[in-house]
Amino acid sequence: MKKITVLLLTLALGVSALTGCGSKEDSSSETSKETTETAKKSEDKAIYRTLDEIKESGKIVIGVFSDKNPFGYVDEKGEYQGYDVYFAERLAEDLGVEVEYVSTEPASRVEYLQTGKVDIILANFTVTEERAESVDFALPYMKVALGVVSPDDALITSPEDLNGKKLIVAKGTTAETYFTENYPDVELVKFDQYTETYNALIDGRGDAFSTDNTEVLAWALQNDGFTVGITSLGDLDTIAPAVSKGNTTLLDWINEEIKSLADEQFFHANYKETLEPVYGDEVDPDSLVVEGGVVEE
């Protein structure tokens, strides 16, 4: 009888232990689930520094191109130059802080804002509805359309000329989107960096290259043997600064800054300093420059 009692007690303790283990496992699973959900919410939350936080730090971080002359590039001395950089310097000056530049690629611009890697993107960022879902755009400071540059001895003068041919584009650009949606018979050869796109064009790895018309025109003027056969394609778009979604204090300050700079025709002065040496008489500044955020046709 004593043996039976001990056996039953042992079985009872075993069941209790198993039940306890199961309970601990369920608790661990719930904790893991809660942690995952918390992490996801954290990932979904925008990461940015407010205007006051930037001022307190004494530095603003701005994403620009390092290989898109004359808009954003690094010169022979290792210093950032160009139309976007000229504007960035003024923003930092009027904010009373130092500026730190972060080189970006076209496809990284949204990501750099969302992850807090930069405070502002000033990298020929064309305003589109799709991008506006992920970042907040300030008032525009430039007008732009698409252009196509190709070799003089095989000049592309219409999009239809590209059917069945190879068109070089940079990933994450409006050119990539436009040709994907409107000209599916054009084979797109994609690269991450602008340096790669132009090298590919020079090497004959594509029949033409498309990006902003202002940029391909500048490049063609500096490279013999190439011409912009399509000078304006698609809708007239605008270029604007962008900040992380929801960063209203920084966005509002940039908008007021752009409006106030119109009093001194800042962007025309910017054009004269950075773009006129490249374009010469080939481009009317008013066809490109936007003052005070007001776009005039």
Q: In a structure prediction context, what are the per-residue pLDDT tens digits for the chain, which is 297 residues long?
A: 434 443 333 434 343 443 343 333 443 444 334 333 333 333 456 799 999 999 999 999 999 999 999 999 999 999 999 999 999 999 999 999 999 999 999 999 999 999 999 999 999 999 999 999 999 999 999 999 999 999 999 999 999 999 999 999 999 999 999 999 999 999 999 999 999 999 999 999 999 999 999 999 999 999 999 999 999 998 889 999 999 999 999 999 999 999 999 999 999 999 999 999 999 988 899 999 999 999 986
Q: Is the bond into 70 cis (omega within 30 degrees of 0)?
A: yes
| pLDDT for 20 | 41
* Eight-class DSSP state of 287: G
The residue written with tokens 């599916």 in the block is 184
Helix (H, G, I), strand (E, B) or coil at 67: strand
Helix (H, G, I), strand (E, B) or coil at 157: coil
Rounded (to 5) percent helix, strand, coil in the chain: 50, 25, 30
| pLDDT for 282 | 85
Q: Which two tokens stand for residue 134?
A: 């992920």
Distance of CA 70 to CAs 76, 89, 91, 154, 239, Å?
14, 15, 19, 26, 15
| pLDDT for 296 | 80
Distance from C-alpha of 242 to C-alpha of 26, rounded to nearest angstrom: 45
Backbone angles phi, psi at 180, to 5 degrees: -65, -40
Distance from C-alpha of 108 to C-alpha of 90, rounded to nearest angstrom: 24
| pLDDT for 45 | 64
* Eight-class DSSP state of 134: T
Distance of CA 176 to CAs 181, 188, 296, Å?
9, 8, 26
Domains identified in the chain and CATH numbers = 51-141+240-287 (3.40.190.10), 145-236 (3.40.190.10)
| pLDDT for 8 | 36
| pLDDT for 1 | 42
